[in-house]
Amino acid sequence: MTTSRRRFLQIVCGTSTTMVLAACGGANQMPASTPATKPTEAPKAAAPASSPAAAASPAAASSPAAAASPAAASSPAAAAPAVASGWQPTGPIEFVVPYAPGGGSSITALEMNKAIQDARLLPQPMNIVNKPGASGAVGLAYIVEKRGERLVLGTGVDSGLINNKLDGNSPIDFEDLTPIALTAVDETLIATQTSSQFQSMKDLIDFGKANPGKLTAGGTGASGTERLVFILLEDAAGIDIEYVPFNSGGEVNAAILGGHIDVAASNPNEFYPQIEAGSLRPLATMSRERLSTLEDTPTMIELGYPRAVMQLGRGVVGPPAMPADAVAFYEGLFKRVTETQVWQEYTQKNAMTLDYRNSRDYTTYLQETREKMRELTELVKRSG
């Protein structure tokens, strides 16, 4: 094992960030976390003075969800607005998904919109617009161009908001936007097509060892969490994997179903329809415990990699310099979204952890995750 690889494992084993990648055992066990299928209350973190979202949303510090008015939910005439008073949208909201239709971000946006419509949380429609390209960079650049606007939002995911810039694939990260709310965190699932020769993760690893460089894998983006999954697997199992990046989870699904790659890693919600249809076979999860929706699928921990755990934060962002009253409104809106039956059923079905954080705390989460990922990404680059 190279010095950089060894350092990679040492860093990961000592971290407690939401996203944890490792393949090491021993005495340094991470504290157990809440199972992904059970909603948890997000911890509160102090906002740094330089926090862009904190600056954009002074109201967030004192009343993140000030917002959620019980009376509004029962007021049809008011169309159940997310806040009882203050600014409200006066026209349609453009909700940008920086990835192609069919992927996790697109599905998440659709579920959010359904929750909003069913509970009548908005006085105006919210229109979902997919703007894929460059692993999310195209859509995020579009949002950045809407500086100061109140009626433009976008889906945010750790890989697009952090990893793209760290890897030099985009000049944009979350600091160029206004983080509004974290709504959930995703687990990671590794799967193959049912016609594949791989009946288990062991089969896949054995093939990789016997056929160096012949195993192909795919995921969303050249620098996202899926790429790190396979970097981890290469290092832990001593195999060489050819990684193929795609623009969205939908493209990953098409590639694996078409036999263009051997294995893929993604969020469970992107694979569930194909698993239920019998066209994909789950091999392992990177959760701490078996997922209730995939009880027969082992975790990587069970398979001998006690630190192979990965989570991916999903949230909502706005343009830079979004006015504070708009930020406060959307904080309240998405807090109420996470409290709806639609959203809770969606997160439970897809083995996601329900985790609401307001603009300030979401910014802090992204800052902390970026610092951990910065060093990990540099070590991965040096290790080749």
Other Cβ atoms closer than 10 A to 16: 10
Per-residue pLDDT averaged across 307-312, rounded? 78
What's the CA gap between 44 and 46, in Å, rounded?
7
CB-CB contact of 72 with 81 (8 Å): yes
Structural domain range at position 145: 57-177+321-383
> Strand 263-266 vs strand 215-220: parallel, antiparallel, or unpaired?
parallel
Per-residue pLDDT averaged across 199-216, rounded? 94
Rounded to two decimals, what is the model's pTM?
A: 0.65
Q: With the C-alpha atoms ordered 209, 9, 306, 184, is the resulting torsion angle positive or negative?
A: negative
User: Could you tell me the pLDDT band of residue 163, with boundaries at 50, 70 and 90?
Assistant: confident
Average pLDDT score over the chain:
79
19-56 pLDDT, tens digit per residue, is 333 333 333 333 333 334 333 333 333 333 333 333 33
Structural domain contains residue 225: no
DSSP designation for 82: S
Residue 152: predicted pLDDT:
98
Single-letter code of the amino acid located at 365: Y
Residue 72: predicted pLDDT:
35
Closest Cα partner for 374 from 44, 11, 26? 11
User: Could you tell me the pLDDT band of residue 145, with boundaries at 50, 70 and 90?
Assistant: very high
DSSP designation for 18: S
CB-CB contact of 263 with 256 (8 Å): yes
Structural domain contains residue 5: no
Structural domain contains residue 293: no
Asked if pLDDT for residue 182 goes beyond 60, the answer is: yes
Greater confidence (51 vs 221) lies with 221
Asked if pLDDT for residue 219 goes beyond 70, the answer is: yes
Structural domain contains residue 226: no
For 5, phi then psi, to 5°, come to -65, -45
Residue 286: predicted pLDDT:
86
Asked if pLDDT for residue 198 goes beyond 60, the answer is: yes
What's the CA gap between 119 and 109, in Å, rounded?
15
Structural domain contains residue 345: yes
3-state secondary structure of 127: strand
Asked if pLDDT for residue 13 goes beyond 50, the answer is: no
What's the CA gap between 329 and 84, in Å, rounded?
10
Structural domain contains residue 159: yes
Greater confidence (68 vs 209) lies with 209
What's the CA gap between 319 and 172, in Å, rounded?
12
Least confident of 59-63, 218-222, 286-290, 302-306: 59-63
Structural domain contains residue 85: yes
Residue 382: predicted pLDDT:
61
User: Could you tell me the pLDDT band of residue 85, with boundaries at 50, 70 and 90?
Assistant: low
Residue 248: predicted pLDDT:
80
Q: What CATH code is carried by the domain that includes residue 86?
A: 3.40.190.150
User: Could you tell me the pLDDT band of residue 2, with boundaries at 50, 70 and 90?
Assistant: very low
Least confident of 138-147, 264-273, 293-302: 264-273
Number of domains present in the structure of the chain:
1
Greater confidence (7 vs 156) lies with 156
> Strand 152-157 vs strand 215-220: parallel, antiparallel, or unpaired?
unpaired
User: Could you tell me the pLDDT band of residue 229, with boundaries at 50, 70 and 90?
Assistant: confident
What's the CA gap between 225 and 243, in Å, rounded?
12
Per-residue pLDDT averaged across 217-238, rounded? 81
Burial class from Cβ neighbours inside 10 Å (0-12, 13-18, 19+) for residue 210 reads exposed
List, in sequence order, every residue forming a beta bridge with 179; answer none if it has no partner: 317
243-272 pLDDT, tens digit per residue, is 999 888 788 889 999 999 999 998 887 888
Asked if pLDDT for residue 314 goes beyond 90, the answer is: yes
User: Could you tell me the pLDDT band of residue 336, with boundaries at 50, 70 and 90?
Assistant: very high
3-state secondary structure of 36: coil
Per-residue pLDDT averaged across 184-197, rounded? 93
Structural domain contains residue 173: yes
Least confident of 44-48, 166-170, 176-180, 364-368: 44-48
Asked if pLDDT for residue 225 goes beyond 70, the answer is: yes
Residue 340: predicted pLDDT:
98
Radius of gyration of the chain (CA): 20
Per-residue pLDDT averaged across 200-227, rounded? 89
Asked if pLDDT for residue 57 goes beyond 60, the answer is: no
